[in-house]
Amino acid sequence: MLYPWIFFNIFAIGVLVLDFYVSRRRAISSPGNALIRCAVWFALAIAFAGWVFFWQGRQVAIEFATGYLVELSLSVDNLFIFLVIFRYFAVPDEHQHRVLFWGILGALVMRGIFIVAGIGLIQRFHWIFYLLGAFLIYSGIRLGLAGEHQIDPANNWAVRAFRRVMPVAADYHGSSFFVRGSQGGRALYATPLLIVLVVIETTDLLFAVDSIPAVMAITLNAFIVYASNVFAIISLRSLFFAVSGLMKVFRFLHYGLALLLILMGLKMIAENYLKVSTLVMLATIAAILLISIVASLTKTRTTE
């Protein structure tokens, strides 16, 4: 049925646009306002889970809640990278929310295509499911050993390709992504703000390769996978401003995320031999995240 997809996307884009225009009038970058917005997004996710419960039953609602928690947890990694990108390109604070808005909107489109295509391939070629499981285990081990995902904005392949086809202005021009040449010239230049957006989009696509298969380990219901991704992504902008100053505090969180990826990969590979209920997975994921956060906070206090 297309109706749930249509109505859900109208809802998601509507609340995202509303949040964008509200944030232009208020200081979204302040931690207090950002935390309030995070609470609103979380409440909307809970309300959606309740709607799914009455629409498709308890099991599907638990699958959404688990997928949402997994996606939201893995999205924390994005926040670290966003901070690196903004600092590298020296993006003014007042323009960061605009880049994140368009980055999130682009991510919704790309992830929707990725999810529908990926689940279609899995249903046709089931061996891809095991291949994704092995990839998640590899990604988890890599994340645990490396400490965090690494990114070099200057060597981003999309930026290099973009610079070959379009000239880039030397300075920012307010919140504009494009600007005309100096002295009334007709040449159209991209501003550094558009370059930042390109880096954000391509980086999110790379993260989606990890996070979407992790949710697919919980359910192959395309709508639930997509909805859990959307609710996690649309809260990223508020979450970024809420915790950007506290990111170094969560020094053990990447170990928890690494373990989460490995468990999701093992679940995919052992799907035909070991059945684990979604409720058990939800409790396990919550416990891993809680232990990682508590350990991080405890370590921070002992080193002060």
CA 300 – CA 304 distance, rounded (Å): 6
Give the pLDDT mean for 92-104: 81
The tens digit of pLDDT for each residue in 122-167 reads: 878 788 888 888 888 888 888 777 655 556 666 677 777 877 888 8
The pairing of strands 178-180 and 188-190 is antiparallel
Contact 42, 109 (CB under 8 A): no
Strand partners, 189: 179
Give the pLDDT mean for 67-83: 79
Res 183: pLDDT: 47
Res 61: pLDDT: 92
Res 60: pLDDT: 92
CA 262 – CA 136 distance, rounded (Å): 6
CA 109 – CA 14 distance, rounded (Å): 15
Domains in the chain: boundaries: 3-303
Res 182: pLDDT: 60
Tokens encoding 45: 């996710």
Average pLDDT, the chain: 79
**Residue 240: pLDDT over 50:** yes
CA 111 – CA 104 distance, rounded (Å): 10
Query: In the 8-state DSSP scheme, what is residue 180?
Result: E
Distances (CA, A) of 68 to 62, 72, 211: 10, 6, 11
Give the pLDDT mean for 69-94: 77
